[in-house]
Amino acid sequence: MRADTIVLGAGIVGISVALHLQKAGRSTLLVDRRGPGEETSYGNAGLIQREGVYPYGFPHDFGALFRYAMNNTIDAHYHWKAIPKLAPFLFSYWMHSRASQHEAIAHKYATLIEHCVTEHDALAAEAGATGLLRRKGWMKVFRTQQQQEERLAEAARWNREFGLNYRALDIEALKIEEPHLDHGSLVGGLHWTDPTTVIDPLGLSKAYVAQFEKLGGKLALGDAATLTQEGAEWSVTLADGTKAQAKNIVVALGPWADVLTAKLGYHFPLAVKRGYHMHYKAEGNAVLNHPVLDTERGYFLAPMQQGIRLTTGAEFADRDAPKTPVQLARAEPIARSLFPLGERLEAEPWLGRRPCTPDMMPIIGPAPKHKGLWFSFGHAHHGLTLAAVTGRMIAEMVTGQKVFVDPAPFAPARFV
């Protein structure tokens, strides 16, 4: 089997890369060991975060660091055995999260984020999937006046710097927007109005794949570990034994990317933040109108087609360690007190893995040591958010067009 380009990894990033390449007239083969969108891309909170110009940093205030050291929070948890291996990454992550560094990173990162909604809108329209998008934004709700004032001041600053739109919600306004929350425990909220949300992330992935195949793209099961270079071409052995060949290979393997790139001589400082979710019925006639972050407690509730999705924060652990959904167990009773959740809809919590770099920016662009090898991973919490943007960027680079976003800050060469 021959193609112009083979994309390894059928998460939402790889899918978007493949779709954009096929749109550009390049015959493309999309390869994964599982069905498209079934790994990390399945379990996100469904946010296309137009407001997310500051990637999630490592806290620097003593209070947060003390809380995390106790290892009993919802928004962060760690495995003691994993810390020695993770320590170099965590230290670099902490250094990049210093205020001056974080601000400089945000102004680079914003060049990607500013296109996230429009680029997904374009792909969703072509794929007939606009029905999966909601244009209501999302909310942070606050339990203390201090937290509300700090976050609203931050939002005002981001509005001045980046033109991001928001609404400050007092408790009466919050009651109108979300009548079924427990307002007695809250003081108000912050409504980010620019983002869009996805009520079925897996459904969106499948819609993009269907459009990719409609345009002539091919989808196949295969193992990225079989990748070999043969002269000017690359080859991968598919699950049925067929050898697929192409001049260009795009590695979009998310949290598994470093397994392959290390074999090729690239040692990226990639780490994994794990996360969990569970779906619930809503009790009675209760309705959640927006995705909601319980800011002080550190969990997220999102209305999905499958039910109300409760998601947790970051778990620092070995990528393939067994599930330890302690954050979900901590979050569930608190979430039930905020919103009337009914029964669980799955037998087991879902576990996903987010691929992270210490400078909080994805790795997008050509491999410095190999011709025809391209990288597209490391999107951390913003894989869904940045998928369509990244897909267009990679397609423009592979086809030799002018890239609509300056790719220099995200180049793989910054780690080589």
Assess if residue 191 is contained within a domain.
no
- Domain of residue 384: give its range: 1-57+97-134+196-269+358-416
Which helix (H) or strand (E) is 315 found in, with range? strand 314-316
Residue found by looking up tokens 């995200």 in the block: 410
For residue 255, the model assigns a pLDDT of 97
Note the pTM of the prediction, 2 decimals.
0.97
For residue 66, the model assigns a pLDDT of 79
Tell me how many domains the chain contains.
Answer: 1
Assess if residue 130 is contained within a domain.
yes
Residue found by looking up tokens 């037998």 in the block: 347
Assess if residue 245 is contained within a domain.
yes
Assess if residue 239 is contained within a domain.
yes
Assess if residue 48 is contained within a domain.
yes
Mean pLDDT of the chain: 97
Assess if residue 66 is contained within a domain.
no
Assess if residue 79 is contained within a domain.
no
Q: Where are the beta strands (DSSP E) in 132-206?
A: 133-134, 138-142, 166-170, 188-192, 196-198
Which pair of tokens denotes residue 99?
A: 């205020």
Residues 355, 342: Cα–Cα separation, whole Å: 32
List Cβ neighbours of 328 (8 Å cut-off, separation of 6 or more).
276, 277, 278, 310, 312, 349
For residue 144, the model assigns a pLDDT of 97
Which pair of tokens denotes residue 123?
A: 């792909």
For residue 312, the model assigns a pLDDT of 94
* 3-state SS, residue 337: helix
For residue 136, the model assigns a pLDDT of 96
Residue 201 main-chain phi, psi, to 5 deg:
-55, -40
Strands 196-198 and 133-134: antiparallel
For residue 301, the model assigns a pLDDT of 98
Assess if residue 406 is contained within a domain.
yes
Residues 328, 218: Cα–Cα separation, whole Å: 38
For every one of its 416 residues, what pLDDT tens digit does the chain have, with 9 covering 90 and above? 999 999 999 999 999 999 999 999 999 999 999 999 999 999 989 999 999 999 999 988 878 777 888 888 999 999 999 999 999 999 999 999 999 999 999 999 999 999 999 999 999 999 999 999 999 999 999 999 999 999 999 999 999 999 999 999 999 999 999 999 999 999 999 999 999 999 999 999 999 999 999 999 999 999 999 999 988 999 999 999 999 999 999 999 999 999 999 999 999 999 999 999 999 999 999 999 999 999 999 999 999 999 999 999 999 999 999 999 999 999 999 999 999 999 999 999 999 999 999 999 999 999 999 999 999 999 999 999 999 999 999 999 999 999 999 999 999 999 98
Which CATH number characterizes residue 105's domain?
3.50.50.60
DSSP string, 25-89: T--EEEEESS-TT-SGGGSS--EE-TT--SPPPPP-SHHHHHHHHHT--SSEEE-GGGHHHHHHH
Which pair of tokens denotes residue 146?
A: 């201090």
- pLDDT, tens only, 65-83: 778 888 889 999 999 999 9
Residues 201, 189: Cα–Cα separation, whole Å: 25
